[in-house]
Amino acid sequence: MGAAPVHAPVDYLLHLADNALVLGQRNAEWCGHGPILEEDLALANNSLDLLGQARLLYQHAAALINDDADLARRFAHLRGARQDGRLTEDTLAYFRDVAEFRNHTLLELPHSGPLAGTATSDRDYATTIARNFIYSAFMVLVWDRLQS
């Protein structure tokens, strides 16, 4: 009897892509609302970088899924596939249910509330910067480990 197929690389790619997508979208909420113009533009550019990372990771995951019959069956329920049935980055990013996303919860939390109990408005820029620092410091370790 053959070994069960290993799908961990695709699951991990989706985890990394989901993290980048969710944080990129969360950061983009600041566009036009930053404390000063320079910070507004910097965070918007950071959002674009994260969305670019997500695109690359989703493209790679889609290629792996499309080349593996077992994986293709696992993701066959997704709407938005091309007419030939192949998945795309958009299918993985925008046509999965909420429960299928594998991002860290920290990245989807609002800009205040659970992260900053002392926040006096619905947006706390310091909370956003702290979240980005924590995520970025963590991802340096992740990318270094994945390289070795």
Helix crossing, 37-66 with 125-147: angle to 10°? 40
Residue 38: the pLDDT is 86
* 8 A C-beta contact, residue 64 and residue 10: yes
What is the per-residue pLDDT for 114? 54
Q: Top-level CATH class of 8-147?
A: mainly alpha
Q: What gap in Å lies between CA 1 and CA 76, rounded to an integer?
A: 26
pTM of the model as a whole: 0.86
Cβ neighbour number for residue 87 with a 10 Å cutoff: 23
- The whole-number pLDDT of residue 1 equals 45
User: From CA 40, how far away is CA 28, in angstroms rounded?
Assistant: 9
* pLDDT recorded at residue 32: 84
**Ordered per-residue pLDDT tens for the chain, 148 residues:** 444 455 679 999 999 999 999 999 999 998 888 788 888 889 999 999 999 999 999 999 999 999 998 998 888 888 766 777 789 999 999 999 999 999 999 999 887 765 556 656 677 888 899 999 999 999 999 999 999 8
